[in-house]
Amino acid sequence: MAHWLAMGGYAIYVWPAYAVFLAVLAWDWFAPALRRRRITRELRGRLARERTRNARTERAEAST
């Protein structure tokens, strides 16, 4: 195992290369999920506000 990890003396080049590969792709995979959560949250808020506003106008109209 230690022999394998040493990569024939090139460990300081081989493992960082694989780390960059994994880290950048992890970013690529998770960034849209975060963006998606934000979009959904904003939209949900907008819809909720719309509903309250509609309910208020309805009540105002009913009382006149």
What residues between 40 and 59 interact with another protein by CB under 8 A?
A: 40, 43-44, 47
3-state secondary structure of 10: coil
Q: Is 2 in the site for another protein (CB under 8 A)?
A: no
Whole-number minimum distance, CB 53 to another protein, in Å? Answer: 15
Report the Cα–Cα distance between both ends of the chain, in Å, rounded.
Answer: 82
Cβ proximity of 60 and 52 under 8 Å: no
Report the distance separating Cα 12 and Cα 19, nearest Å.
11
Q: Which is nearer to another protein, 9 or 63 (CB)?
A: 9
Q: Where do contacts with another protein occur on this chain (CB under 8 A)?
A: 4, 7-10, 13-14, 16-18, 20-21, 24-25, 27-29, 31-33, 35-36, 39-40, 43-44, 47
